[in-house]
Amino acid sequence: MRSPSTRGFGAQALLVALVATTAIALVACGEAAPSAAPTTRPTPVVTPDPHLSDPTTADEVYRGLGAAGLRITANNANAGGEDPSLIKRINATYLGWPLNVSEFRTTSALADDTAWKAGEPPGQGEAPVAIVGSNILVTWGPQTGEQPATPDARQLDGLDDLVLALDRLLSPLRVRTAVPVDVPGVVLGSPGGTPASPDATTAEGPATPAP
């Protein structure tokens, strides 16, 4: 027969073993690696394409020029009138000169109405700046006098801004100006530039290939 002291010692040892087992279990649970949070991929930023569809409208071009920061003031607008290929013309003012945005029914209809080639100088009674893109014709400057007016320094800077803004909206452009202007996608050297091509010419004559 066991003595009471022996029974007490056995119960105490069992309690110590139980406490130790519980402590080990708690430590093991505490050291368990937390589950990784799902990775969230950043939402891609989509840059809108400012280039307008062909055909487009005079209103869309006018709004696009304003969005580009050009300070153009609309005066009035009218329908095509006697020209069946012309849908609408917006008459505005830009840097003190009249600016017209004309919408034609199709690109081919506009090409028929503007038979001039890029780089040709404007003549008497014609605006010093004419820019064609898609079915839109933009003219800028007075159409009076024996010779087309020459833009001043402020208007020259404004012409560069106008060409760049229209290039984003309507490229490729066909440009005819009274002064040389840098037009994206064309060879420089003549007013309005000459469309880039293997046989492109400049104001000095045909391009000569390098030896």
Would 64 be classed as within a structural domain? Answer: yes
As a whole-number percent, the residues of the chain with pLDDT over 70 amount to: 64
55: nearest Cα among 105, 130, 90 = 105
pLDDT of 195 above 80: no
Confidence class for position 50, pLDDT limits 50, 70, 90: confident
**Does some domain include residue 3?**
no
Q: Report the range of poorest mean pLDDT among 41-50, 137-146, 198-207.
A: 198-207
Domain of residue 132: give its range: 58-195
- Whether 112 is in a domain gets the answer yes
Record the tokens describing residue 87, joined without a space.
């849908």
Alpha carbon distances (Å) from 140 to 26, 91, 118: 83, 10, 16
Residue 117 lies in a domain: yes
Give the mean pLDDT of 58-63: 97
- Give me the pLDDT at residue 136, please: 98
Higher pLDDT, 79 or 37: 79
